[in-house]
Amino acid sequence: MTTPAPRGRRNSHRKKQTRRRRLPMRYMLPLLFLVALLAMLMLRGYVHSEILADFRVRPPVATDRVPEQVLEGGPVIDARSTTEPAKTLRIPDHRIVLTFDDGPDPEWTPKVLDELKKYDAHGVFFVTGTMASRYPDLVERMVEEGHEVGLHTFNHPDLSYQSTGRIDWELSQNQLVLAGAAGIRTSLFRPPYSSFADAMDNKSWPVTQYIGSRGYLTVVNNTDSEDWKRPGVKAIIDRATPKHGKGAIILMHDSGGNRSQTVTALGKFLPEMQKQGYTFDNLTRALGAPSAHTPVTGFDLWKGKAFVWAVGVSEHITDVMVAGLAVIGVLVFARFGLMLVLSFIHARRVRGQGFRWGEPVTRTVTVLVPAYNEKKCIANTVRSLLASDYPVEVIVIDDGSTDGTADIVQRMRLPNVRVVRQRNAGKPAALNNGIAHARNDIIVMMDGDTVFEPTTIRELVQPFGDPRVGAVAGNAKVGNRDSLIGAWQHIEYVMGFNLDRRMYDVLRCMPTIPGAVGAFRREALGRVGGISEDTLAEDTDVTMALHRDGWRVVYAENARAWTEAPETVQQLWSQRYRWSYGTMQAIWKHRRAVIERGPSGRFGRVGLPFVSLFMVVAPLLAPLIDVFLLYGLVFGPTEKTVGAWLGVLAVQLVCAAYAFRLDRERMTHLLSLPLQQVLYRQLMYVVLLQSWITALTGGRLRWQKLRRTGVVDAPGATPSPRARTHERRPVA
């Protein structure tokens, strides 16, 4: 018999063309997102001196190649001329140029600026690119309040170790940040780890010459407060005070540690020196020279602003990721804790002596087997049903197969087996067609690639002894678990799906009856309108509808079904993409349950949040665990990061071992759990991200047929003839 469900070839061809145009972009978007995230993390590592930083500090060497006038000259070295010798400049008497290194710092720089503003004093801030890019508002404030800004390199390396290319990079990146933060360039430079002019040696002098050739004045100091040692406020003031009214360039710090003594010392030093007739100027004003600042315009300005913006984004992204990691940590431990406790309660209840759902269920049930091009599997599936120790009526609904699936079943001439043919209309239509042809009030549904054990159906229908039960979820098992991908899915099925279902059973908010093994009360299906075609996850959709209609949905742990899991990454991707997208559709479809009353409201306020958190949000955030592992391995702290990651893995291993024990599975497959957590988790994340993109862009996803090999038999079943290995079609 044939039930029409037309689907035009022209329309199908148009959809295929659309799909070919769209899918590559949806594959690209998750990849681009991951690349952008990695770039932001690398940028953050760069501006925190966690990569490309060189912390070597060279000891002093000989000074015989340094000009005498430099060693005995002033603290400002002008080596810009290519035709004349380098010259030095001194600060006039009764003038002080306060210089602050290593900033800006979000805590101490504002306090230093406040003290300077209070006494109408000015100075020079030699900023590093790493700090200025993270706190550009402070650089802008320095310029607005009349201070000068100088370069102190980007990453603060000892330049005597660096190539000219690296020196140029340090200078250009430092200038780029100043352009983005304050719209200026500067001609002032102070080398990291510099001291007085007479400390110049044969290694630092060539660097100073090169810096001069790039157009910079090199500014050292002739008075060191040594505030970085935190010697006390009085000691800082004593060391900073010039002798005999001489002018001075004083070295202080507004970053690099606790600078409370520096701030306090400024509050005393500034008014005292002003009383003695000193003025506090920036460098060029003290020397009577043109300003060190020149405005930046055009492309260079916007390039600087873009860099500063990107650094800000990288800082915020890290904050968001840390918050996300905290969320996933809470979700992971809460979920595992709930699963362990509630699955123990479930197992103790259903395995307790004398437990029963009600009167034993013995009446004949109808088993629906929707099939589309299942010639590799359909014979195994049907034979397993007829080997059942429970009375069954089997209906195979052939959904327009082109490989002779229906003919295979008919040629078997098995009792109590009927074949219903229909034009290709999809799985929901096939199931509804089967329900219409069923003769019994309990409907068992399975996939065409699944095989049942002899006791599966009897175990599956016993909960219907309770009149409140509208549907029962069985225990789906991965049959082809010998490959690595199969083993990973086996762990997922046992640990995730089945342990989850025990938890949801206790909470009375089971979100999904698996398509591979589930049973329904026909009355309940009729009340919710049968199997809906609104979503790609019709099993999740109908389960949620049953909850909202007031039916209980329970889990039968001994109703085992053996299904053929995807055997390649491509096939696994396709399956999980459909599952993820379909689950999102179902959640959205039933969202009104959150505000409704009665059973629907209970499911909406308990079940939907659980499903959203544990099946959508948690998998999307889970890779943060691995992202921070990589970040910690590269940037540190390595030991704490690895310890935290191993701690999460240990918790997962405990849960997995408990789940395997409940299901009486061999523990050997858990050897692949660490690799599963690293690789499989990333795949599921990308699939879920792609599903989000599809949902947000309004894309449509067609049912994706998986190719089967027919390799799965129920344990203890008589193996049926199957194609030789080289004849099996690979999973696509």
Please tell me whether residues 368 and 295 are part of one structural domain: no
Per the domain annotation, does 595 fall within a domain? yes
- Name the nearest CA neighbour of 542 among 519, 560, 564, 576: 519
Same domain, 346 and 285: no
Residues 6+ apart with CB under 8 A from 328: 618, 621, 622, 624, 625
The tokens describing 431, both together, are 């199931």
Euclidean distance between CA atoms 704 and 272, whole angstroms: 82
Q: In whole angstroms, give the CA distance from residue 478 to residue 486.
A: 7
302 and 326 both lie in a single domain: no
Handedness of CA 123, 129, 130, 134 (dihedral sign): positive
Say whether both 242 and 97 belong to one domain.
yes
Report yes or no on 207 lying in a domain.
Answer: yes
- Burial (0-12, 13-18, 19+ Cβ within 10 Å), 598: exposed
Query: Which residue bears the tokens 């994706």?
Result: 704
DSSP assignments along 188-235, one per residue: EE--TT---GGG--TTHHHHHHHHHHTT-EEE--SEE--GGG---HHH
Q: Are residues 638 and 665 in the same domain?
A: yes
369 forms beta bridges with: 396
Domain that holds residue 434: 322-727
Q: How do residues 136-146 score in pLDDT, each as one tens digit?
A: 999 999 999 99
Alpha carbon distance 269, 255 (integer Å): 19
pLDDT tens digit string along 432-449? Answer: 999 999 999 999 999 998
d(CA 222, CA 92): 13
Residue with tokens 């431990």: 333
Number of other residues whose CB lies within 10 A of the CB of residue 304: 24
**Residue 74 falls inside a structural domain:** no
Please list the ranges in the chain whose pLDDT falls under 50: 1-23, 703, 717-732
Pairing of strands 293-295, 184-186: antiparallel
Q: In angstroms, rounded to a whole number, what is the distance separating the alpha carbons of residues 407 and 411?
A: 6
Same domain, 247 and 395: no
Q: Are 128 and 193 in contact (CB under 8 A)?
A: no
The domain boundary, picked from 278, 306, 334, lies at 306
Is-above-0.95 flag for pTM?
A: no
692: Cα separation from own chain's centroid: 14
**Considering 244, 272, 306, which residue would you say is the last residue of a domain?**
306
Give the per-residue pLDDT at 320: 84
Q: Are residues 288 and 388 in the same domain?
A: no
The residue assigned the tokens 């099996």 is 728
Q: What would the DSSP string read from start to end of 104-117?
A: --TTHHHHHHHHHH
274 domain residue, yes or no:
yes
Q: 253, 280, 306 — which closes off a domain?
A: 306
Half-sphere exposure of 314 (CA within 13 A, CB side): 22
* Alpha-carbon separation of residue 601 from 44, 109, 245, 607, 644 (angstroms): 45, 55, 83, 9, 38
Residue 245 has what pLDDT? Answer: 93
Do the domain assignments include residue 193? Answer: yes
Do 146 and 251 lie in one domain? The reply is yes
Token duo for residue 133: 């890019």
Residue 65 is assigned to a structural domain of this protein: no
Residue 203 belongs to domain with CATH number? 3.20.20.370
Please count the residues of the chain. Answer: 732
482 and 606 share one domain? yes
Q: What is the CATH number of the domain that holds 518?
A: 3.90.550.10
- Indicate the DSSP class of residue 298: H
Q: What angle do CA 485, 488, 492 make, to 5 degrees?
A: 135
What is the set of active-site residues? Answer: 101, 253
Classify 319 as helix, strand or coil: helix
Integer Cα distance of 601 and 594 in angstroms = 5
Alpha carbon 423 to chain centroid distance? 43
Residue 509 counted as domain residue: yes
Total domain count for the chain?
A: 2
In a domain, 517, yes or no: yes
Burial 515-540 (b: 16+ CB within 10 A, else e): bbbbbbbbebbeebebbeeebbbbbb
Same domain, 179 and 230: yes
Which pLDDT value is given to residue 354? 83
Nearest CA to 196 out of 229, 220, 167, 177 is that of 220
Q: In this predicted structure, what is the pLDDT of residue 706? A: 55
Q: What is the pLDDT of residue 725?
A: 35
Q: Do residues 134 and 195 share a domain?
A: yes
Q: Is the domain of 363 the same as that of 488?
A: yes
